[in-house]
Amino acid sequence: MKRLLAFIQKEFYHVFRDRRTLLILFGLPVAQIVLFGFALSSEVKNIGIAIQDNSHDIHTEKMIQKIQSSSYFHVENPILNYNDIENRFKDGSIKCAVIFPSNFGSDIQRLGGAKIQVIADASDPNTATIVTNYLNAIIRDYQQELNPSAKLNYQIIPELRQLYNEQQNGSLNFIPGVIALIFMIVSTALTSVSVVREKELGTMEILLVSPFKPIMVLIAKAIPFLVLSIINFIIIIFLSVYLLDVEIKGSFLLLFAESILFIITCLSLGLLISNVTNSQQTAMLISMMGMMVPTLILTGFMFPIENMPWIFQAISHVIPSHYYYIIVKAVMLKGLGFSYIWKETLILAVMTVLLLTISLKKFKIRLS
């Protein structure tokens, strides 16, 4: 036991001696959570739109005013001609063009109906759909104003309650996701170089002839990183609460315990990578390049997993951050207790044990 402590102490020295790495390690998550907490949102605002009004009557003017006053749109200079639309789509300055035909107003009065032409740049289908929906809503609104007597005989009035997010905070969904992503990458990458560095520098041989059991070596390697990650966790939570105004609705202790579990899972994954690679460069490329994009996409906070082809749904089930994201969402944002997340917890625990066992096996092979 004493020897293990001494060994852990040595590893601590190693980690804490490197001030610059520490600075980066703590600085990055802070910068990221602040940046993304404020900047990311699934809302779509300020969409560039250009209007061609060939009618210039009271109806078109009122509608244009409505479009202008909406925060969804940013109305650019009027369209000159058909070619102008294409040019401006091509330089990316507008996403949508609205054309009122020349006899729009008189058509409403005389024929009782008129048409508006909307051309959306669907190279970005998400924005195109949203733009069309917004425009539809604005026009429906205007129509109601025009003809308030045309009320329906039957009416179902929906009363909406926004659960968990009354203020419609657009970044709420991203915060648990970014937390999961940062831990996943930072913790995994940190440990992924730990063992392989000793291999590269040749100090591995010394470890191998020492009286330590492989498991001790792994534990000693992982503990300083665990401590670092816990400090990181506290900083991140602190920022989320005090800077981004995300209230922790559930138990902090539960969140803390689950986070430690997740960090250990990531550290185990890092150890495994470290054990199967032969150079720091490879280890880092695997843990960063190989895992960053898939983790980002398959954690579930960017893209809805239930829409994906089954194969991705299957892959998302082996990505630890997927479960941690569910846990953070449940505890932090929904205020739920352990009984709701025991399944995810169990899966993370099993993953951890599995990863550690495989690391140990691989480590032993290198011993012989």
Partner 1 sequence: MKVLRFILQKEFRQIFRDKTILAMMFFVPTIQLIILPLAANFEVKSVNIVYVDHDHSSYSEKLINKIGSSGYFHIVGAPASYLEGMKFIETGDADLILEIPSGFERNLVREGSQKVNIAADAINGTKSNIGNAYLNVVLADFSNDLDIRFKLPPQSASVSPSLITLNSTNWYNPRAEYKYYMVPGILVLLLTLIGGFITALNIVKEKEIGTIEQINVTPIQKWQFILGKLIPFWIVGMIVFTVGLIVIYLIYGIFPQGSFLVLYLFAGVYLTALLGLGLLISTFADTQLQAMFIAFFFMMIFMLMSGFFTSTDSMPNWARTISEFTPVTHFIKVVRLIVLKGSGLQEVGRELLYLIIFAVVLNSLAIYNYRKTS
Quick one: 110 or 213, whose CB is closer to partner 1? Answer: 110
Q: Which of 70, 103, 127, 251 binds partner 1 (CB under 8 A)?
A: 127
Residue 26 neighbours by CB under 8 Å, 6+ apart: 231, 232, 235
Q: Which of 83, 91, 148, 368 binds partner 1 (CB under 8 A)?
A: 91
C-alpha distances (whole Å) from 269 to each of 218, 253, 353, 358 are: 12, 24, 10, 10
Stretch that binds partner 1, among 187-195, 217-225, 267-275, 349-357 (CB under 8 A): 187-195
Task: Scan residues 25-64 and list those touching partner 1 (CB under 8 A).
Answer: 25, 28, 31-32, 35-36, 38-48
Q: How far is the CB of 136 from partner 1 (least distance, A)?
A: 6
Stretch that binds partner 1, among 170-178, 215-223, 231-239, 352-360 (CB under 8 A): 170-178
Q: How far is the CB of 254 from partner 1 (least distance, A)?
A: 15
Residue with tokens 């096996």: 361
Q: Which of 285, 338, 358, 362 binds partner 1 (CB under 8 A)?
A: 285
Question: Does residue 292 interact with partner 1 by CB under 8 A?
Answer: yes
Task: Scan residues 201-240 and list those touching partner 1 (CB under 8 A).
Answer: none
**How many residues interact with partner 1 (rule CB under 8 A)?**
113
Question: Does residue 80 interact with partner 1 by CB under 8 A?
Answer: no
Question: Does residue 253 interact with partner 1 by CB under 8 A?
Answer: no
Q: How far is the CB of 354 from partner 1 (least distance, A)?
A: 24
Question: Does residue 2 interact with partner 1 by CB under 8 A?
Answer: no
Task: Scan residues 9-28 and list those touching partner 1 (CB under 8 A).
Answer: 18, 20-21, 24-25, 28
Beta pairing class for 47-53 and 96-100: parallel
C-alpha distances (whole Å) from 353 to each of 103, 121, 229, 358 are: 73, 50, 19, 9
Q: How far is the CB of 203 from partner 1 (least distance, A)?
A: 14
Answer whether 308's CB lies under 8 Å from 316's CB.
Answer: yes
> Which tokens is 188 given?
């995994």
184: region left, alpha or beta (phi > 0 left; psi from -120 to 50 alpha): alpha
- 11-15 CB contacts, 8 Å cutoff, 24+ apart: 11/220, 11/221, 11/223, 11/224, 12/223, 12/224, 12/227, 14/224, 15/224, 15/225, 15/228
Task: Scan residues 95-114 and list those touching partner 1 (CB under 8 A).
Answer: 108, 112-114
Calpha distance 276→191 (Å, rounded): 13
Calpha distance 295→320 (Å, rounded): 9
Question: Does residue 273 interact with partner 1 by CB under 8 A?
Answer: no
Stretch that binds partner 1, among 208-216, 252-260, 289-297, 358-366 (CB under 8 A): 289-297
Quick one: 50 or 360, whose CB is closer to partner 1? Answer: 50
Question: Does residue 180 interact with partner 1 by CB under 8 A?
Answer: no
Question: Does residue 358 interact with partner 1 by CB under 8 A?
Answer: no
Residue with tokens 């990863």: 355
Q: Which of 83, 166, 211, 242 binds partner 1 (CB under 8 A)?
A: 166
Side chain identity at residue 195, one-letter code? V
> Which tokens is 362 given?
């691989």
